[in-house]
């Protein structure tokens, strides 16, 4: 069975061009948690501990009792499509092992990473068509 992945390596996902937030906004804490809040909590509390696949499977596959192999037998949306990067003003950095950390668009670390020429740079997917 073919396996898909959402992992990036040595990459920085910058906020979407049409992101409405000029600062990193923590998604609202609702019951049940929104996808954005669950992603934020897992990544922000565990910088460089998880890959993108780890986070997505933990939040979307495991709770449904789906095996990891079955979950990734179909393509899954990557974090370029996450509300964190599209709406809430967060960038995601992936290190050489594919482990990720989150940075607010208004932070010094976000600015540093956005200028790092050793990283691959991709933008989050726009919310609206150009």
Residue-wise pLDDT for 97-115, tens only, equals 999 999 999 999 999 999 9
In a domain, 130, yes or no: no
pLDDT for residue 90: 98
Residue 99 DSSP label: B
In a domain, 82, yes or no: yes
In a domain, 44, yes or no: yes
Low-confidence ranges of the chain (pLDDT < 70): 130
Which domain range does residue 21 map to?
11-123
Model pTM score: 0.92
pLDDT for residue 127: 83
Distances (CA, A) of 88 to 37, 39, 57, 84: 10, 12, 22, 5
pLDDT for residue 130: 64
In a domain, 109, yes or no: yes
pLDDT for residue 58: 96
In a domain, 55, yes or no: yes
Tell me how far apart the alpha carbons of residues 45 and 64 are, in angstroms, rounded to a whole number: 23
Q: Quick one: which of 104, 100, 107 has its CA closest to 54?
A: 100
Query: What is the percent of the chain with per-residue pLDDT over 70, rounded to a whole number?
Result: 99
Cis peptide before 129 (omega within 30 of 0): no
pLDDT for residue 44: 96
In a domain, 37, yes or no: yes
pLDDT for residue 1: 72
Domains held by the chain: number: 1
pLDDT for residue 9: 98
Dihedral class, residue 48 (left if φ above 0, else alpha if ψ from -120 to 50, else beta): left
């Amino acid at each position: 069975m073919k396996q898909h992945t959402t992992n990036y390596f040595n990459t920085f996902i910058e906020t979407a061009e049409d992101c409405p937030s000029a600062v990193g906004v923590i998604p609202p804490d609702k019951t049940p948690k929104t996808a954005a809040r669950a992603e934020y909590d897992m990544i922000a509390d565990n910088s460089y501990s998880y890959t993108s696949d780890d986070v997505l499977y933990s939040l979307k596959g495991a709770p449904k009792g789906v095996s990891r192999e079955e979950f990734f037998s179909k393509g899954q949306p990557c974090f370029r499509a996450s509300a964190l990067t599209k709406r809430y003003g967060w960038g995601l950095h992936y290190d050489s092992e594919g482990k990720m950390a989150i940075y607010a668009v208004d932070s010094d670390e976000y600015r540093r990473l956005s200028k790092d020429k050793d990283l691959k740079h991709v933008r989050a997917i726009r919310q609206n068509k150009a």
